[in-house]
Amino acid sequence: MFRNAIKIFNIFGIDVELDISWFLVFLLFSFTLSQHYFPQILPGTDEVIYWILGISVTILVFVSVLIHEMAHSLTAIKEGIPISKITLFIFGGVAQMKKEPDLPAAELKIAVMGPLFSIILAAIFGLFFLVLPAGRPITEGVWFLTRINFIIGIINLIPAFPLDGGRVLRALLWLWKDNLLFATRIAVTAGSFFAFFAMGMGFITLFSLGIIWGLWYIVLGWLLYQAGQASYSQVALKESLSGIKVAEVMSREVQYIDPELSISGLVEKFYEYKFGAFPVLDNSSLRGLVSINQIKDIPRSKWENTKVSEIMTPVEDCVIMRPEQDAAEAMFKMANEGVGRVLVVEDNRLTGILSNTDMMRVIKIKTIFGTET
């Protein structure tokens, strides 16, 4: 997720990134405010003022979204859940947790804090609006920020998973039934109803009324539906792996590669073993991981003179797990990092490798034979 993102700064140990789509929405939002919204609200004002106001308000809208996500993130960290980064993108922002909350109370706190801070920001901007002179450009800008933060807070409280309100609903159901899968299913179902309602309203707005904004409702509804289904699948898989340790699932017979091996030799190894990647070891010392995808950009003319060490992913950039960790946590890490396998290390020694294929094999066995294997 968000592979085309640019890191802009780090705050409280959390990387903040801009997805490439953010630049598009920044331009569109600034243009709409500068050329349509503010000219209607403040007729007769200088064109330069419209642009300054439009760009300034757009920046402050995204600062508000960042504060919303920081509220989630800092609460998550307080609950013992690391946050890898915050990404601002076309539809707002997302805080990327390295693992899901283990307790419903933790999820409830994390989910509530974002909308709460948006409503607090709305109240702060509202107070400024009350003391500023009426009819001034800055006053109208502050009034817009008051309303947009209030709307962000309220919309995020709609009980439609994976919106914050849907997570609140799931946390409450989880507290009530002590069953995460049941709670997720109900919250995702509620989210699906809302998603289809949004898409229906979008089609009516677009085709019956001829208003182009209906397209946004359709896209938002579809993305909400897709995200909900993906979240449910992830929880179902996590439940399937409940109680299983990495050591029980990983492949112990690991074929490794020497860092001095040429790309030509590496290609032969891929043909021989039919693996998608190999750990790279130098005298029993783990150096990294090399995958078949890392070869495709190397011209064949350079295969003989290029070493594995030149193209491999160094060990510090690999996803590492310990044998005693939960397999469900490994699955979440792989999904979160967008990788197909993790290296299993104990006492600085490679003991195995765990791939998505290993995970799917165990899940299939449990699906067919039940929890007792």
CATH architecture for segment(s) 246-369 = Roll (3.10)
Tokens in use for 79? 């609950």
Ranges of each domain in the chain: 1-157, 161-240, 246-369
Give the pLDDT of the chain (373 residues) as one tens digit per residue: 445 678 888 998 899 999 888 888 899 889 989 998 999 999 988 999 999 999 999 999 999 999 999 999 999 999 999 898 898 876 678 888 878 888 999 999 999 999 999 999 999 999 999 999 988 999 999 999 999 999 999 989 998 888 899 999 999 999 999 988 899 899 999 999 998 998 998 888 878 776 666 777 888 888 888 888 877 877 877 777 777 899 998 988 889 999 999 999 999 999 998 888 999 999 888 999 999 989 988 899 999 999 999 999 999 989 999 999 988 888 878 877 778 889 999 988 999 999 888 888 877 777 666 655 4
